[in-house]
Amino acid sequence: MAFRGQLQREFRSLLDLAVPLVLGELGWMTMSLVDTMMVGRVSKEAIGAVSLGGMLFYAVAVIGMGILLGLDTLVSQSYGAGNTQDCHHSLIQALYLCLPLAPLLMGLQWCWSLLLAPFGVHPAVIAETTPYLKAIMWSTFPLLLYAAMRRYLQGMNLVKPVMFALISANLVNAGANWVLIFGNLGFPAYGAAGAGWATCISRVYMALVLVVYIYIAERKGLGLMRANWSLDLERIRRLVSLGLPAATQIVVEVGVFALVTVLIGKLEPRFLAAHQIAISAASFTYMVPLGLGAAAAVRVGQAIGRRDGAGAGRAGWAAMTLGGATMSWFGLMFLLAPGWVARVFTTDPEVITAAGSMLAVAAVFQLFDGLQGVATGALRGAGDTRTAAASHLIGYWVIGLPLGYYLCFSVGWGAVGLWAGLCLSLIAIGVVLTGAWWRMAKRICASYP
C-alpha cells in the first residue's frame, strides 16, 4: 500500500510538470503544422519546400539545441540537491556557449542551398526551398537562447512560462504567416519564404518571453544576477560532454528523416507533399512523449540530487507508462482514420491517398516511438546520453535507412518503403532503450537505497 501511494504521488507530480511541457511541445509542433497548412494553399511545391527546408534547418540547428540538453542533467540534479546557485552557473555558461555556436550553425545551414541540385531534388521544389532556408537560418541565435533558458527553468520546476511562450508564439507565427505568405497588409506575397521569416519572428518572441520572465523572477529573488558570471571552461566542458551525445542522437534522428525527405524529393512532388503531411502528423503525436521525456529527465535528475534511488525509478517508469499508453491511442487513430488526418492539410486527392499509406505505417511504430522518447529523457536525467545516441545511430543508419532505400528503389514500394524501414528501426530502438532504462533504474536504486 505504501508503494502504491508513492506511485500515485509520483504520477501527480509528474503530470504537474509534464502537462505544461507537453502543451508547450504541442505548441511548438503546431507552428510547423500551421506553416504546412498555410503554404498548402499556395502549391504542392511550397509544401515540399517547407518540409525539406525545415528538415535541413533542424538537421543543423539540433546540434546546438542538443548540446544544451546537458542542462537537464546539471540543473535538475543541482536543484534536487538544493544548490540553486549552481543552477544559475550552468545557465550562464550555456549562454556563453551559444555565442560561438550560432554563427557556426548558420554557416552550415547556408551550405544546404548549394547541395539541393546535386542531390537531384525536383527543380520546382528547389525554387521554393532556397529562399525559405535563407530566411529561417536567421532564427538560429534566438532559438539557442530560448533553448538554454527553457532547460534552466524547467530543471527548477518553472514550466508555466515555457508553456506560455510556445503557445502564444503560435499566434505570432500565424499572424506573420498570414501577412508574409499571402501578401496581406500591403506586404509582398513571399510564399514559402514568408513562412521562414514568420518563424524567425516567432522565435525572437519566444526568447524575449523567457527573458522577461527571468527578469521578473530576478526582482522577486531568483538570484541569477548574484551568481558568478565569469567564464568557466570546465563547466562548459561538462555541459558539452553531456550534451554532445544527446546532440548526436538528435542529429542522427533528424538527419535520417532529412535524408529520407531528400530521397522522396526525387519522386513526384505529390509524394513529397504526402511525406510532409505524414511526418507532420507523426511529429505532432511525438510531442507528447517528448514532453514526458523532458519531465522524466527533471524528475529523475532531481531524485538523484536528493539521493533517492527509488524515487528516480518511479519517476522514469511512471513517465514511460504514460508515454506508451498515449502513443498507442494515437496509433489507433492513424490506423482507423488516415484520410481524415490527411484532409486537415490538403484537399488534393492524390496527396491524401499517398499520405494515408504512410500514416498506416506510422500507426505501427507509435508505441515504440513513445517508449524510446521517454526512456531517452529518463536516461538523460541520470546522466546517460550515450546509450540513446548509439541506439539511434545503429537503429536508423545501419538497419532502417538501408532497408528503406532497398524497399523504395529496388523492390518498388516507393515512399512507403522508406517509411517501412524507419518503422523497423523505431521498433528496435524502443525495445533497446526500454531495456537500458530498466538496467539504469536498478543501478540507481542500488547506488541510493
Q: Residue 225 and residue 218: Cα distance in Å, rounded? A: 7
Q: Residue 291 and residue 377: Cα distance in Å, rounded? A: 9
Q: Is the pLDDT of residue 153 over 50?
A: yes
Identify the weakest region by mean pLDDT among 39-48, 289-298, 431-440. Answer: 39-48
Higher-scoring residue by pLDDT: 271, 214: 214
pLDDT reported for residue 4: 64
pLDDT reported for residue 202: 96
pLDDT reported for residue 43: 78
Q: Residue 80 and residue 299: Cα distance in Å, rounded? A: 9
Alpha carbon 143 to chain centroid, angstroms: 12
- Per-residue pLDDT tens digits for 30-49: 787 788 778 877 777 788 78
Mean pLDDT of the region 431-449: 93
Q: Is the pLDDT of residue 135 over 80?
A: yes
Residue range(s) defining the domain that contains residue 81: 2-447
Q: Is the pLDDT of residue 292 over 70?
A: yes
* Contact criterion met (CB below 8 Å) for 191 and 128: yes
What single-letter DSSP state applies at residue 139?
G
Question: Positive or negative, the Cα torsion across 420, 424, 425, 431?
Answer: positive
DSSP one-letter string for 405-443: HIIIIIS--THHHHHHHHHHHHHHHHHHHHHHHHHHHHH
Mean pLDDT of the region 376-384: 95
Higher-scoring residue by pLDDT: 155, 23: 155
Mean pLDDT of the region 144-157: 96
- Three cell numbers at 315? 519517476
Total domains in the fold of the chain: 1
> How far separated are the first and last CA of the chain, in Å rounded?
19
Percent of the chain with pLDDT over 70: 99
- Three cell numbers at 270? 505529390
Closest CA to 26 of 272, 291, 373: 291
Q: Identify the band that residue 261 occupies on the pLDDT scale cut at 50, 70 and 90.
A: confident
DSSP H helices, 344-414, are 349-381, 386-392, 401-405
Q: Is the pLDDT of residue 231 over 70?
A: yes
Q: Residue 204 and residue 201: Cα distance in Å, rounded? A: 5
- Per-residue pLDDT tens digits for 388-414: 999 999 999 999 999 999 999 999 898
Sort 114 into a burial class: Cβ within 10 Å, 0-12 / 13-18 / 19+: exposed
User: CA 341, 342, 348 angle in degrees (round to 5)?
Assistant: 150
Q: Identify the band that residue 168 occupies on the pLDDT scale cut at 50, 70 and 90.
A: very high
pLDDT reported for residue 1: 45
What single-letter DSSP state applies at residue 345?
T
The Cβ of residue 30 has, within 10 Å, a number of other Cβ atoms equal to: 18
Q: Residue 16 and residue 347: Cα distance in Å, rounded? A: 39
Q: Is the pLDDT of residue 255 over 90?
A: no
pTM, full prediction: 0.85
* Contact criterion met (CB below 8 Å) for 33 and 280: yes
Length of the chain: 449
- Per-residue pLDDT tens digits for 90-123: 999 999 999 999 999 999 988 888 888 887 777 8
Mean pLDDT of the chain: 90
Q: Cα dist. 243→295, 356, 357, 372, 442 in Å?
A: 17, 37, 36, 18, 24
Q: Residue 342 and residue 333: Cα distance in Å, rounded? A: 12
pLDDT reported for residue 254: 77
Q: Is the pLDDT of residue 300 over 90?
A: yes
Q: Is the pLDDT of residue 3 over 70?
A: no
Q: Residue 349 and residue 421: Cα distance in Å, rounded? A: 25
- Three cell numbers at 147? 533553448
